[in-house]
Structure 1
Amino acid sequence: METKISSKFIAELIGTFGLVLFGCGAAAVAGGTTLAQTSGLGLLGISLAFGLSVVVFAYAIGGISGCHINPAVTIGVLVAGKISAKDAVIYIAAQILGAILGAFVLKTILAGQLAGFNPGEWAYGSNGWGSGYQNEYNMTAAFVTEAVLTAIFLFVILGTTSKVGNGTMAGLAIGFTLVLIHMVAIPITGTSVNPARSLGPAIFAGGEAISQLWLFLVAPVLGAIVGAVIWKVTYQEPKAVA
């Protein structure tokens, strides 16, 4: 029985909402307004928050929508020929809306501090690069990081969810891959590999987060396309046994 597109829309919205609220929320609520100020959970804690969010929603909504919760993933899956263009547009719309709602709830929670709240630059777990952000990597390093890591992410996703992969363990493999990605990229860009995850917080943070947003829209999508193409070249459909 085919799942209704409205159900897929709701599933992707909820999943992306949760990813932003849990991932960016862990960063912002646990220690500061930017990922650089997260003295509470630290690098491993924030990485686990994002990765475990994917694991949780992979098993919660994977059977409904495939749990993309990421426009770059949807575009990569489209390039791989595993989703229609019509469904891809609906998925991406749901992901963007979910990310914005997640960031809005996070902003509302942080604004409730009785001592007052000053968001500052790159607030709400926003991504960025350059002077004043994390370890102050340049734009080239940020772009390469986001593109390459997204390509690897897509390769893992397509591999684990294919006929030659282990479907029952796909959620764990994808989630732990995202943990590894965050452990590398948080000090560089705060880790996006997901345009919706970057867009939501940037809208409310404004300033540098908005001016640098383009990189986190372009690099992950480019990386996703490369990852999907590499997978298509690598993957061979298993032949039926006579």
Structure 2
Amino acid sequence: MAGSSSNDNPNNNKDYHDPPPAPLVDAGELGKWSLYRAVIAEFTATLLLVCITVATVIGHKRQSAEGAGDSCAGAGVLGIAWAFGGIIFVLVYCTAGISGGHINPAVTFGMLLARRVSLPRAALYMIAQCLGAMCGAGLARALHGGRQYERHGGGANELAAGYSAGAGLAAEMVGTFVLVYTVFSATDPKRKARDSHVPVLAPLPIGLAVLVVHLATIPITGTGINPARSLGPAVVYNGSKAWSEQWMFWVGPFAGAAAAMLYHQYILRGAAAKAFASSYLAHMHHAPS
């Protein structure tokens, strides 16, 4: 403001601005088309994510079965990981300016905890993501045919033989931590202000995080790290094992997302220290001399 001193506020020297916390409930938001446009974007993006990736998984298993003895048949674990990471890169790039490009209830949960989105928006996003995943799995089933879809497991997440439920839960937690930590780092206002000349910089590391996590955890759980991605194929495939282990693909990702939020916001960004310093300064300002 004109006439104010730059020394009045030490934050004036920053080349970025932290957005104010989103209200827990924003009634005015519910009457805006921008909210529903964002919900539609989340639905569509999750539909495309699940359709493309589940079709890749089924196609790999189908080609491997038909080309028995051929080690190069099918996309392989590396190809599946690239399918997940690549489509996430594309979809985040396309939807980030509309909805934030969450495409994952765990990411939305982390953003809610960080007060980046309101509770109604988060709830609508999660509903849209789950419905989109169901439709995407149904479309993948239609592409490959019901018999092949059922024969090759429907792309449903299940704990692999030889692994304990604790190992599967830990894999989901660690994998989601890596993803959500990357999302917070890539969308940090400080980084965005200084890297604005590279518009694809945020979607790229997010896609790479998804890729490397898949390489590490496909052998354990088939890689969920996204409750909607796990729920959609489970509904369409409707296998007893996929349902009995479904809890793992919700508890793990939500716990990992919460841990990533706490680590980024309160340790790396120092939100706790800043809040303490602000309250201390306010106390000292009002304390009697």
> Normalising by the residue count of structure 1, what TM-score does the alignment of the two structures yield?
0.87
Verify: 1:21 aligned to 2:21, yes or no: no
Q: Report the CA distance shift for 1:3/1:54 in structure 2 as closer, same or farther (over 3 A).
A: farther
Tell me if structure 1 keeps the 8 A contact 2:46–2:132: yes
Out of 196, 207, 218, the position equivalent to 2:228 is 196
Q: Which residue of 2 aligns with 1:226?
A: 259
Unaligned runs of at least 5 residues, structure 1: none
State the one-letter code of the partner of 1:195.
P
Verify: 1:94 aligned to 2:128, yes or no: yes
Out of 138, 155, 170, the position equivalent to 1:125 is 155
Secondary structure of 1:117 counterpart: helix
Tell me if structure 2 keeps the 8 A contact 1:33–1:119: no
Unaligned runs of at least 5 residues, structure 2: 1-31, 275-289
Tell me if structure 1 keeps the 8 A contact 2:130–2:232: yes
For residues 196 and 235 of structure 1, the distance between their equivalents in structure 2, rounded to whole angstroms, comes to 29
| 1:214 Cα offset (Å) | 1.1
| 1:128 Cα offset (Å) | 1.0
| 1:118 Cα offset (Å) | 6.4
Q: Which residue of 1 aligns with 2:179?
A: 153
Pairing of 1:1-242 with structure 2 (within 5 A): 4-32=34-62, 39-111=73-145, 117=148, 119-120=150-151, 123-131=153-161, 136-165=162-191, 166=195, 168=199, 169-206=201-238, 207-233=240-266, 234-236=268-270
| 1:117 Cα offset (Å) | 3.1
Tell me if structure 2 keeps the 8 A contact 1:130–1:139: no
| 1:164 Cα offset (Å) | 2.4
Sequence identity of aligned pairs in percent? 34
Q: Report the CA distance shift for 1:41/1:81 in structure 2 as closer, same or farther (over 3 A).
A: same
For residues 179 and 90 of structure 1, the distance between their equivalents in structure 2, rounded to whole angstroms, comes to 27
C-alpha deviations, 1:28-59, integer Å up to 9, x for none? 1233399xx99500111000100111111111
| 1:236 Cα offset (Å) | 4.6
Secondary structure of 1:32 counterpart: helix
Q: Which residue of 1 aligns with 2:280?
A: none
For residues 24 and 42 of structure 1, the distance between their equivalents in structure 2, rounded to whole angstroms, comes to 13
For residues 243 and 83 of structure 2, the distance between their equivalents in structure 1, rounded to whole angstroms, comes to 24
For residues 90 and 13 of structure 1, the distance between their equivalents in structure 2, rounded to whole angstroms, comes to 10
Q: Report the CA distance shift for 1:199/1:39 in structure 2 as closer, same or farther (over 3 A).
A: farther
State the one-letter code of the partner of 1:204.
V
Tell me if structure 2 keeps the 8 A contact 1:33–1:120: no
With a CA cutoff of 8 Å and minimum separation of 6, indicate the structure with the bigger relative contact order: 1
For residues 118 and 144 of structure 1, the distance between their equivalents in structure 2, rounded to whole angstroms, comes to 28
Secondary structure of 1:213 counterpart: coil
Q: Where does structure 1 differ by over 6 angstroms across 4 or more consecutive aligned residues?
A: none
